[in-house]
Amino acid sequence: MSFPLLRVSNLSVEFSTYGRTSRVLHDVSLDVPARSQVALVGESGSGKTVTMKAIMGLLRQPPARITSGEIYYDGADLLTMPEKDRLRLRGTAMSMVFQDPMSSLNPVFTVGDQMGTILKYADKRLGRSRSRRERMVRVHQVLEQVRMRDPERVTQAFPIMLSGGMRQRVLIAMALLSEPQLLIADEPGTALDVTTQAQILKLLKDLVEERGLALLMITHNLGVVRETSNYVYVMNKGAIVEHGETAGIFDNPRDPYTRSLIDAVPRLTGGTRPSGEVTA
């Protein structure tokens, strides 16, 4: 059997703070095949971001410690490969979309400058080079891909001059700059109003489908899972408690925790509503 694009295998992580050690991931295993749309869902504190950081090599060790497991990207174990090989993958083949645009963008540089710099470093890691002018062509190209109407104006703008939705689009554009194969999105758009968030999620989904990317969508929101994934892993207290085709999990949750997540979807009216509808 061939390897999926991303495979997390029996990953366990603990944190040691102030002399106390607590285990926050317990034998987490998940697969993200090429071109697939996979969600990792669980309530706050269940370990989603720790999983994402371990995959991206962003866990600070210490205080964290990976006590067991492997993380394979394209068949190669990220945890044992030389750091320089891992750096070459991060932000290039595997890319991330963060939740909060304002803390991910630098307020004192224009969007064009920031995107140009990201591209320059990604190129460097990949042993490529292009002129400033060529970089700007690529920047405009990805801004158009994220359906930005006026890329010229956006590149010249400072982050504060853009709306929340536009800033989130810029973050997606940044993640696409180096033509990744895998996008990991940790709660994208949760800082936005519901309508704008829905547009952003639709855009992400369209982009991964158009470009044949794999998507790992990390969220606490079952509505987001339903909209963006075909396959879902449910995480509770640092362990995967259930996984399967998204539709099947919604129609027939087997694990009591999954059922409780579905039941916990807030209701605005007294009547019943389809499980997983978003309000948060």
Ligand X SMILES: Nc1ncnc2c1ncn2[C@@H]1O[C@H](COP(=O)(O)OP(=O)(O)OP(=O)(O)O)[C@@H](O)[C@H]1O
Q: 48 Cβ partners below 8 Å, 6+ apart?
A: 40, 41, 42, 186, 218, 219, 220, 235
Q: By rule CB under 5 A, what count of residues binds Mg ion?
A: 2
Q: Which does 75 bind (CB under 5 to 8 A by kind): Mg ion, ligand X, none?
A: none
Helices (H), 2-82: 48-56
Among 37, 46, 92, 178, binds ligand X (CB under 6 A): 46
- 3-class secondary structure, 133: helix
Q: Which does 63 bind (CB under 5 to 8 A by kind): Mg ion, ligand X, none?
A: ligand X
For residue 269, what are its two tokens?
A: 């009216």
Q: 37 Cβ partners below 8 Å, 6+ apart?
A: 205, 208, 214, 215, 217, 228, 229, 230, 231
Least separation in angstroms between residue 47's CB and ligand X is 4
Among 11, 12, 28, 48, binds ligand X (CB under 6 A): 48
Give yes or no for residue 44 binding ligand X (CB under 6 A).
yes
Window of 39-47, 113-121, 125-133, 266-274 that interacts with ligand X by CB under 6 A: 39-47
Name residues contacting ligand X, limited to 1-20 (CB under 6 A). Answer: 15, 17
Question: Measured between alpha carbons, how far is 233 from 253 in angstroms, rounded to an integer?
Answer: 12
Window of 16-24, 41-49, 108-116, 262-270 that interacts with Mg ion by CB under 5 A: 41-49
Q: CB nearer to ligand X: give 63 or 248.
A: 63
Give yes or no for residue 45 binding ligand X (CB under 6 A).
yes
Q: CB nearer to ligand X: give 70 or 100.
A: 100
Q: By rule CB under 6 A, what count of residues binds ligand X?
A: 13
CA atoms 174, 180, 185, 188: torsion sign: positive
- 3-class secondary structure, 17: strand
Specify whether the CB–CB gap between 14 and 23 falls below 8 A.
Answer: yes
| 236-250 per-residue burial string, b: 16 or more CB within 10 A, e: under 16 | bebbbbbbbebeebb
Q: Pick from 75, 92, 88: which is nearest to 31 by CA?
A: 75
Give yes or no for residue 49 binding Mg ion (CB under 5 A).
yes
Question: Measured between alpha carbons, how far is 209 from 183 in angstroms, rounded to an integer?
Answer: 12
72, with CB counted inside 10 A (0-12, 13-18, 19+), is middle
Least separation in angstroms between residue 187's CB and ligand X is 6
Q: Which does 42 bind (CB under 5 to 8 A by kind): ligand X, Mg ion, none?
A: ligand X
Q: Which does 141 bind (CB under 5 to 8 A by kind): Mg ion, ligand X, none?
A: none
Give yes or no for residue 75 binding ligand X (CB under 6 A).
no
Window of 46-54, 86-94, 207-215, 266-274 that interacts with ligand X by CB under 6 A: 46-54
Task: Give the binding site for ligand X (CB under 6 A).
Answer: 15, 17, 24, 42, 44-50, 63, 220
Task: Give the binding site for Mg ion (CB under 5 A).
Answer: 48-49
